[in-house]
Amino acid sequence: MDNIIEIRDLQKSYGANAVLKGINLTVRKGEILALLGVNGAGKTTTLECIEGLRAYDSGTITINGKIGIQLQSSSLQAHIRPMEAVKLFAKWNKTAPDNEILNALKIPELSTKKYADLSTGQKRRLHLALALIGNPDIIFLDEPTAGLDVEGRVSLHEQIRALKSQGKTIILASHDMAEVEHLCDRIAVLREGKIAFVGTVDEFTAIGGNRHIIRIKTADGQKEYQTENITKTLLEILQEGIYISDIQTDRLSLEQHFIDIVRGAE
């Protein structure tokens, strides 16, 4: 699979504060890549450098395609109407609006509303439609489903999968691990200005081994155990001779693997 973005030794500082300390990352054509990191890890700065919104100190960024950007904090003039915004962005891009995309995102249904009167989900759909004007090869989505209800999230996920099926490359920044697990081909995790992990979801979960959580409910409350051998640990618990009213076992979640990585756990 061809690389559509290549980042080599990307460095960025704000005064004496080094935020990016040599980022190396490739993004493959046609994949959905999740970029993860806790606040302060350098995720936003990395995205802004790739998108061309922020200058960087050193390193190289090579982009082999046209980009479209949906920012988390996007906003439009309060009284503009959705189709007016679409026509304006189309004019800037010297292209005609794609009616198929507009209809899929249900933008024409909003034609009588002003931007200020749109719901969060409607604004998200409009921002995505504007990002897709000009038929970009690479689409940046920053927390695209933040604030959406279940129906809105499902609808937007369907649109993201449809874009991937068209050969689009998508870089997704999200705090929703379920979203990442269901949508993304690979995950890149930033920790303290460096890439701490790059790989598939399966590779991500395999880092910590086959770990599980056992939760038991007793008269004294709930206790939790982490183990790679459920049978052995359960036998040890039962041999303690305590009364157990409930037992639950779960595989270690994506969120817990993420916490291990960003905390630097081996």
3-state secondary structure labels for all residues of 27-95 = EECCCEEEEECCCCCCHHHHHHHHHCCCCCCEEEEEECCCEEEECCCCCCCCCCCHHHHHHHHHHHCCC
For residue 184, is it left (φ>0), alpha (ψ between -120 and 50) or beta?
Answer: beta
The single-letter DSSP state of residue 98 is: -
The pLDDT, as a whole number, for residue 142 is 85
The pLDDT value given to residue 58: 96
Backbone angles phi, psi at 28, to 5 degrees: -90, 145
Taking Cα atoms as reference points, which of 75, 30, 67 lies closest to residue 49?
A: 67
Task: Tell me the Ramachandran region of residue 167: left when phi exceeds 0, alpha when psi lies from -120 to 50, beta otherwise.
Answer: left
Sequence-distant (6+) residues with CB within 8 A of 5 are: 25, 26, 27, 50, 61, 62, 63, 64, 138, 169, 171
- For residue 232, count other CB atoms closer than 10 A to its CB: 10
- pLDDT of amino acid 104: 81
Q: What is the DSSP string of 121-189?
A: HHHHHHHHHHHHTT--SEEEEESTTTT--HHHHHHHHHHHHHHHHTT-EEEEE-S-HHHHHHH-SEEEE
- What is the phi/psi pair of residue 134, to 5°? 95, 0
pLDDT of residue 174: 82
Separation CA 39–CA 6 (nearest Å): 24
**DSSP reduced 3-state for 96:** coil
Nearest of 17, 7, 56, 48 to residue 195 by alpha carbon: 7
Q: How far apart are CA 123 and CA 130, in angstroms?
A: 10
pLDDT at 67: 94
Write the pLDDT tens digit of every residue in 146-156: 777 777 788 88
pLDDT at 87: 93
What pLDDT does residue 255 have? 61
What is the Cα 69 distance to its own chain's centre? Answer: 13
State the pLDDT at residue 219.
Answer: 77
Q: Round to whole Å and give the CA distance between 143 and 125.
A: 13
Residue 203 is predicted with a pLDDT of: 84
**pLDDT the model gives residue 250:** 63
Looking from the CA of 81 toward its CB, the CA atoms found within 13 Å total 8
* Residues of the chain with confidence (pLDDT) below 50: 265-266
208 phi/psi in degrees, rounded to 5: -85, 10
At 91 the pLDDT is 92
Per-residue pLDDT at 55 = 95
